[in-house]
């Protein structure tokens, strides 16, 4: 990747550890709502239900099948129903508190700081995320990410989520980069890697959970961010 001047990162689970920060936030709210005492389900029983439903809804959001509002209104009601609580009236408040709490999460993905320190003097660093505008702002400005990132584009800002090319072209326009000098790095095969390569950008697939995926020529696959050093 010789001519690279700009690096575009995905945010959730690429730099900002959504899995860890969300787990901590949801456990805290689960306890404050005293759900185990009221309904008999331990947090560890609940969390896999939430995880699966949230992943499925984000895929639908990415594929333009549901709106952001529908995602937010349904993920906790569906998760609690799936757990075995038929009418979880408290789930609306749960979502509200979750949105407040998740934004305060500080954990970054392993080696995020190390690789950003390595990249920062040689490249311009940007973010294109499918995350919501307000939470994205907090995730960056509450953490050391603010010291590295020059421009940020959200799905709301672009008008469409990745893998839509407009999400990427908005990032290119906002940063002043050329497509030919840009690399995209993300952990979602469809949104990040299919999206970026179809748009014409080089890409690196970050796959820490070893999820099954297809292969695209000249797209390296890494399972630790520090391996970016092998390509940039
Ligand atoms: Mg991601």
Condensed to tens digits (0 to 9), the pLDDT of residues 173-213 reads 999 999 999 999 999 999 999 999 999 999 999 999 999 88
Q: How far apart are CA 34 and CA 24, in angstroms?
A: 16
Same domain, 60 and 169: no
Distance 176 CA to ligand 1 centre (A): 23
Q: How far is the CA of 16 from the centre of ligand 1 (A)?
A: 9
What pTM did the predictor assign?
A: 0.91
Task: Report residues of the chain scoring pLDDT below 50.
Answer: none
* Whole-number pLDDT of residue 42: 97
For ligand 1, the distance from its centroid to the CA atom of residue 40, given in whole angstroms, is 33
Say yes or no: 226 and 114 in one domain.
yes
**pLDDT attached to residue 142:** 92
Q: Is residue 1 part of a domain?
A: no
Ligand 1 centroid–CA 87 distance in Å is 31
The CA 186 to ligand 1 mean position distance, Å, reads 6
**How many whole angstroms from 32 Cα to the centroid of ligand 1?**
28
Range of 127's domain?
A: 6-17+108-230
**Alpha carbon of 124 to ligand 1 centroid (Å):** 20
pLDDT in the model for residue 103: 86
Residue 62 is predicted with a pLDDT of: 86
Are residues 165 and 87 part of one domain?
Answer: no
Distance 204 CA to ligand 1 centre (A): 13
Domain count for the chain, please give it: 2
What is the average pLDDT value for the chain, to the nearest integer? 95
Paired residues of 87 in beta bridges: none
Q: Which of 48, 70, 102 is the last residue of a domain?
A: 102
Domain boundary among 57, 72, 102: 102
Q: In what order do the strands lie in the sheet with 151-154?
A: 151-154, 124-129, 6-9, 182-186, 202-206, 221-222
Q: Judge if 97 and 119 occupy the same domain.
A: no
Q: Tell me: do 69 and 157 sit in the same domain.
A: no
Query: Do 26 and 115 sit in the same domain of this protein?
Result: no
Question: Of 102, 119, 151, at which residue does a domain stop?
Answer: 102
Give the sign of the dihedral formed by CA 107, CA 112, CA 117, CA 123. Answer: negative
- Residue 186 lies inside a defined structural domain of this protein: yes
Ligand 1 center to 42 CA (angstroms): 28
Question: How much helix, strand and coil, in percent to the nearest 5, is found in the chain?
Answer: 55, 10, 35
Q: What is the pLDDT of residue 132?
A: 87
């Amino acid at each position: 990747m010789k001519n690279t001047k700009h690096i575009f990162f995905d945010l959730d689970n690429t730099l900002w550890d959504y899995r860890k920060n969300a787990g901590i936030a949801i456990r805290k709210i689960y306890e404050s709502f005293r759900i185990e005492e009221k309904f008999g389900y331990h947090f560890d029983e609940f969390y896999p239900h939430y995880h699966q439903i949230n992943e499925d809804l984000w895929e639908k959001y990415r594929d333009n099948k549901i709106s952001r509002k529908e995602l937010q209104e349904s993920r906790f009601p569906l998760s609690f129903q799936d757990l075995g609580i038929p009418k979880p009236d408290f789930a609306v408040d749960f979502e509200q508190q979750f949105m407040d709490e998740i934004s305060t999460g500080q954990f970054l993905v392993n080696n995020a700081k190390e690789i950003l320190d390595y990249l920062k003097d040689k490249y311009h660093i940007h973010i294109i995320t499918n995350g919501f505008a307000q939470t994205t702002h907090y995730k960056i400005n509450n953490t050391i990410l603010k010291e590295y990132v020059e421009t940020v584009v959200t799905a709301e800002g672009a008008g469409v989520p990745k893998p839509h090319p407009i999400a990427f072209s908005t990032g290119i326009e906002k940063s002043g980069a050329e497509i030919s000098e840009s690399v995209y790095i993300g952990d979602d095969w469809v949104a990040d890697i299919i999206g970026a390569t179809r748009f014409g950008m080089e890409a690196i697939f970050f796959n820490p959970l070893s999820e099954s995926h297809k292969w695209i020529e000249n797209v390296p696959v890494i399972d630790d961010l520090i391996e970016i050093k092998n390509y940039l």
